[in-house]
């Protein structure tokens, strides 16, 4: 079986989408629709920068989604590879879960762009700049990461945010707690801790104000539900019921992204092929989780043509 997967924050780069839009009217339609939905020229920011503005959470989140959905639309319209026919489930990393839901019809493109703009703004506003931090723990499995986080907390928030793959876990919380964790990595048999260049401590309890904002935003959105199962970040299991999807999206803001467990569950369920849309971040993680899986990362027209010729 084949899963389509969608990248999260960190996969943005100045120039993203430019070549695809130049080559395909279908891609350009997506970028134009997102610009109209947000009332800003996000596509120009994506293609021209400045990088500092593109990296802002409120811009990066809808930009990454737009790039992934533009890639999918070109694949479907010009390659005649239709997700409903060629995919058996979808998943997305953090904000990528919104991309996955949009791809499967649970939210339309305009709604998805506006939800992600709200999500980005709310996550940025939840914690004053400088009070939170995140760090990647390299050479850490989930047990070591949890033990380190517990030891470093000392009454503050220090939690596992992303369980990415068997060798990389991200922690999030108060800056002082994250700094203590980095200092203690060797004591827990972890190779290295690297402070991440992020503006807020995502996927930890400090994000509760953003979770409240997303609960309110999602309550106003109608959804017919996805036409393919979605593997949810916070449960690492299939979900298709609209009410449950919305509840899990709210929980996801403060909860752990269980990516390693999601891919492992998909592999155990018989998924042997994973197609990453609009990025090259998730593919390597998938290979570290399921080494025998077939993985494709689709960004360019050449990538699309190669996939069309194969599936």
Residue in the block written with tokens 């995919």: 87
Integer Cα distance of 60 and 161 in angstroms: 19
CB neighbour list of residue 265: distance below 8 Å, 6 or more residues apart: 231, 236, 237
Answer yes or no: 88 catalytic.
Answer: no
CB neighbour list of residue 260: distance below 8 Å, 6 or more residues apart: 142, 163, 164, 165, 166, 285, 289
Integer Cα distance of 252 and 257 in angstroms: 7
Phi-psi region of 259 (alpha: psi -120 to 50; beta: other; left: phi over 0): alpha
Integer Cα distance of 20 and 114 in angstroms: 23
Both structure tokens of 234: 């916070």
Both structure tokens of 132: 């939170």
Catalytic: which of 11, 24, 94, 172?
Answer: 94
- The answer to whether residues 200 and 297 touch, using CB atoms and an 8 Å cutoff, is no
Both structure tokens of 295: 């993985």
Answer yes or no: 94 catalytic.
Answer: yes
Catalytic: which of 11, 93, 99, 203?
Answer: 203
Q: DSSP secondary-structure letter at 257? A: B
Integer Cα distance of 140 and 227 in angstroms: 36
Residues designated catalytic:
94, 203
């Amino acid at each position: 079986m084949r899963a389509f997967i969608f990248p999260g924050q960190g996969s943005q780069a100045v120039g993203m989408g430019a070549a695809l839009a130049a080559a395909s009217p279908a891609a350009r339609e997506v970028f134009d629709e997102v610009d109209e939905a947000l009332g800003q020229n996000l596509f120009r920011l994506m293609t021209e920068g400045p990088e500092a503005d593109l990296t802002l959470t409120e811009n990066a989140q809808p930009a990454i989604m737009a790039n992934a959905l533009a890639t999918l639309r070109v694949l479907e319209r010009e390659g005649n590879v239709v997700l409903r026919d060629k995919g058996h489930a979808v998943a997305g990393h953090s904000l990528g879960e919104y991309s996955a839901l949009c791809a499967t019809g649970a939210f339309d493109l305009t709604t998805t762009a506006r939800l992600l703009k709200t999500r980005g703004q709310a996550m940025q506003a939840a914690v004053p700049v400088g009070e939170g931090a995140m760090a990647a723990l390299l050479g850490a499995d989930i047990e070591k990461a949890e033990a380190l986080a517990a030891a470093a907390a000392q009454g503050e928030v220090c939690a596992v945010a992303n369980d990415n793959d068997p060798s990389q876990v991200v922690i999030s919380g108060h800056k002082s707690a994250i700094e203590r964790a980095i200092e203690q990595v060797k004591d827990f048999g972890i190779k290295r801790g690297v402070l991440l260049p992020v503006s807020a401590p995502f996927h930890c309890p400090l994000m509760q104000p953003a979770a409240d904002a997303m609960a309110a935003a999602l309550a106003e959105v109608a959804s017919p539900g996805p036409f393919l199962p979605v593997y949810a970040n916070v449960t690492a299991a299939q979900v298709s019921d609209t009410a449950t999807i919305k509840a899990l999206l709210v929980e996801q803001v403060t909860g752990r992204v269980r990516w390693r467990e999601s891919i492992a569950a998909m592999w155990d369920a018989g998924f042997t092929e994973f197609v990453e849309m609009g990025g090259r971040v998730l593919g390597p993680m998938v290979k570290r989780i399921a080494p025998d899986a077939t993985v494709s990362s689709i960004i360019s027209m050449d990538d699309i043509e190669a996939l069309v010729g194969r599936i």
